Structure 1
Amino acid sequence: MKWLAILLLALAAPAFADSNQPPAPLANVQLKDPAKEAQAQALMLTLRCVVCQGQSIADSNAEMAGDMRSLVRTRIAAGESSQSIRDWLIARYGDYVSYDPPLSATTAPLWIAPLALLAIGAWLARASFKRRRSS
């Protein structure tokens, strides 16, 4: 019975992820200057939602992504460069927030894992074909 209660709480957790607060001021409102809005959109597409993880902040409906969109638009409207905003977000949330993390000791597994998996797959395929030829 105890496990059932824990399971139900775990399944209900996503329902409590967002607060009841109204969205951030510029979360869902475009900037009046089309050039600045285009700059903001371009930057938002390169930043990963830290809640959804599989979506950019431009595409995510998570409250955190809305806060990040508002922050990007506010800073771009104030004249800050996209690179300085990106650098600030990376300093705050880590390299993970970027869809293009730099190669470092922390991100090396992200870059090496696909190559290692391809090598392992090629080795397994080769071994399988060798066995079929010899039988």
Structure 2
Amino acid sequence: MRSLLLGLLIATAAHADDLDSRVERLAQELRCVVCQSQSVAESNAPLAVDMKRQLREGLAAGRSEEELRQDLVQRYGEQVLYRPALHGGTLPLWFGPLALLAVGGLVYWRNAKQ
């Protein structure tokens, strides 16, 4: 009986560690919408703490990581993702920095030429 209880305790602890690591990994992929340049995992803002709680509850209930991501995107928009999907609405996010760099390079090249 004692070994059975010990086995259950170890299995429960291993499951909790797995859940913690999944929550942490998913929280690293999400941007805190109230903080500047922090992931949900790094932030201590009340909203980020609530988001981590929602992730933990959702994963514990058997929901997939993708389902939880989509719920947060639906609630906060794609800016909550550090790597948003590539489609028409996110083209500026993906290619805007490159376009600005190209324009800056052209301006520099043109001014250096004169």
Same fold (TM over 0.5): yes
1:99 aligned onto 2:77: no
Q: Aligned AA for 1:81?
A: S
State the TM-score, normalized to the length of structure 2.
Answer: 0.79
Question: Could you say what secondary structure the match of 1:106 adopts?
Answer: helix
- In structure 2, the gaps of 5 or more residues are 1-14
Question: Could you say what secondary structure the match of 2:30 adopts?
Answer: coil
Q: Give the number of equivalent residue pairs.
A: 101
Q: Distance in 2 between matches of 1:109 and 1:81?
A: 29
Q: How does 1:1-135 map to 2 (within 5 A)?
A: 33-131=16-114
Displacement of 1:53: 4.3
Q: Please give the root-mean-square deviation of Cα atoms over the aligned residues, in Å.
A: 1.8
Q: Aligned AA for 1:97?
A: V
Q: Aligned AA for 2:84?
A: P
State the TM-score, normalized to the length of structure 1.
Answer: 0.68
Q: Stretches of 4+ moved more than 4 A in 1?
A: none
Q: Distance in 2 between matches of 1:66 and 1:126?
A: 47
- In structure 1, the gaps of 5 or more residues are 1-31
1:21-45 Cα deviation digits (max 9, x unpaired) = xxxxxxxxxxx61111111100000
In percent, how many aligned pairs have the same letter?
A: 43
Displacement of 1:90: 1.0
* 1:3 counterpart residue number: none
Question: Could you say what secondary structure the match of 1:59 adopts?
Answer: coil
